[in-house]
Structure 1
Amino acid sequence: MTRSNVPLVRFHGVRKSFGELEVLKGIDLEVAPGEVVALIGRSGSGKSTALRCVNGLERINAGELTVCGRELHGGKVDLRELRQDVGIVFQSYNLFPHLTVEQNVTLAPRKVHKIGAGEARDLAARVLAQVGLSDKAQNYPEQLSGGQQQRVAIARSLAMRPKLILFDEVTSALDPELTGEVLRVIEQLASEGMTMMLVTHEMAFARSVADQVVFMHQGRVWETGTGDMLANPQTPELRQFVGNGL
């Protein structure tokens, strides 16, 4: 795949604090179009905070952050426009229980893009097929397994036709079998060229699917490379992290 030389995401010296606690301590990181980047590290290392900065859920305190051509470190940023380009999928599915799967998936496109009912049904059919849930369009969330609900959440993000999707520990609440079905969907999206940033504890998945693995430690990018770096850590901190099987 031919990739642009212009990063879709660029962190340069990014810092983020919550009160007196500095969580990001000068992050430098780039994500190219079509690239899959896995953020790994212990809880509290700053992974999820970095991800939340990318779609404007958190504002940075210093440094520069550019996402899909928008400078998030400058003046006012139109978050609604930004989030049309940047989807995010959380650990919790956040589906509306009173809406069908199809309605959950098409709610945002109908409101934001003003598409009609017929186009919405076609869109839902297309993205539900992508996540292997074509037969669940008229089901309600309570009728689905956790893995199926998470795949609906992914389909909902895909329905906005984003340039980038963020995944924040989306399998951490699932058992191994359901984790596998969600990871297979993400792997398929990677093969289709979707740009993705993932916070994950699934080391085997990060090693096999990610183009770039970023080990964060104490609010800094500690080590970065391809998935092979997990088999050959260059720092004691990553060696211990991988050795603990986290």
Structure 2
Amino acid sequence: MSAIVKVDDIHKSFGSNHVLKGVSFEVNKGEMIAVIGASGSGKSTALRCLDRLETIDQGQIEVCGIRVDDPKVDLHLLRREVGIVFQSYNLFPHLTVEENIVLALRHVKKLARDEARRIAMNVLEQVGLGQKADAYPEQLSGGQQQRVAIARSLAMSPKVMLFDEVTSALDPQLTGEVLRVMEDLAADGMTMLLVTHEMAFAKRVADRIIYMHQGKVWEVGDGSMLDAPRTPELRAFLDNGL
């Protein structure tokens, strides 16, 4: 199986704070990887490095055959291949749900309006929001807004999707509806890397789980590692609830 994401010994510091201390992992095409760990363990920073939202100080990153750490990397190409969804939805409040999705298709992919609208409706149906195309973000629940953010990313036909704590601002019911969309994406074979606190979801859906601690990859395994941690650090993390 060939890796579509390759992360090799990456380091990242913010001033004197050494956040990533030699992180390495690979993600195979069609895999769903969950990244867990306490706040400050470096998991979100590692994710942001994959889309070049943060630059690394040392090491190598390759995503979809693109060397992300190359200073001359084509960011336009990279971000067509890699979609990222954040905790905050980042929707334009003055645009309808459909217009939020059409915007990037028109400006980045240069699609005709009719084609962009067709794609927008397809991805909205995929996340269960076809009936909300004409609504504005303020008329939606947090869970619905997050599903629109996922649909907007899906519309660009990425090869890899990154999710950074996308449910952490939602209550349990709304969290469930977003996780169902992500579970459907995993079942459809989308390559996904997910930073999450949702342990039950990670255990049930992820092909592999990466536990990060103090800026390093501490344990990697399938869902069974949450039942039988090999290290005292993971055991303590799970015992503390997060």
1:73 Cα offset (Å): 2.3
> Residue by residue, what CA displacement relative to the aligned partner does 1:123-168 show, whole Å, maximum 9, x if unpaired?
0111001100010000000000000000000000000000011000
- CA deviations 1:47-84 (Å, max 9, x no partner) are 00000000000011001111110112233111111000
- Partners of 1:79 and 1:117 lie apart in 2 by 24
| 1:171 matched to 2:163 | no
SS of the residue corresponding to residue 233 of structure 2 reads helix
Separation of aligned partners in 1, 2:89 and 2:74 = 25
TM value normalised by structure 1: 0.97
What's the offset of the Cα at 1:243?
A: 1.2
Partner of 1:86: 82
User: What are the ranges of 5 or more consecutive residues in structure 2 without an aligned counterpart?
Assistant: none
Q: CA deviation at 1:118?
A: 1.1
**Which residue of the partner structure matches residue 97 of structure 1?**
93
Aligned length: 242
State whether residues 51 and 68 of structure 2, in contact with CA within 8 Å, keep that contact through their aligned partners in structure 1. no
Q: Which amino acid aligns with 2:50?
A: V
Say whether residues 1:191 and 2:187 are aligned partners: yes
SS at match of 2:22: strand
Taking the aligned partners of 1:51 and 1:73, their CA distance within structure 2 comes to 13
1:160-196 deviation digits (Å, cap 9, x = unpaired): 0000110000000000000000000000000000001
CA RMSD of aligned residues (A): 0.7
CA separation in 1, counterparts of 2:71 and 2:40? 29
Residue 89 of structure 1: CA displacement? Answer: 0.4
In the TM superposition, what whole-angstrom CA distance separates every residue of 1:73-132 from its partner, at most 9, and x where no partner exists? 233111111000001000000000000000001111111111111111110111001100
Partner deviation per Cα, 1:11-63 (whole Å, 9 max, x = no partner): 11111111111100001100001000100000000000000000000011001
Equivalent residue, structure 2, for 1:160: 156
2:147 aligns with 151
* Unaligned residue ranges in structure 1 (runs of 5+): none
Q: TM-score, normalised by structure 2?
A: 0.99
Partner of 2:27: 31
User: Runs in 1 of length 4+ with deviation above 3 angstroms?
Assistant: none
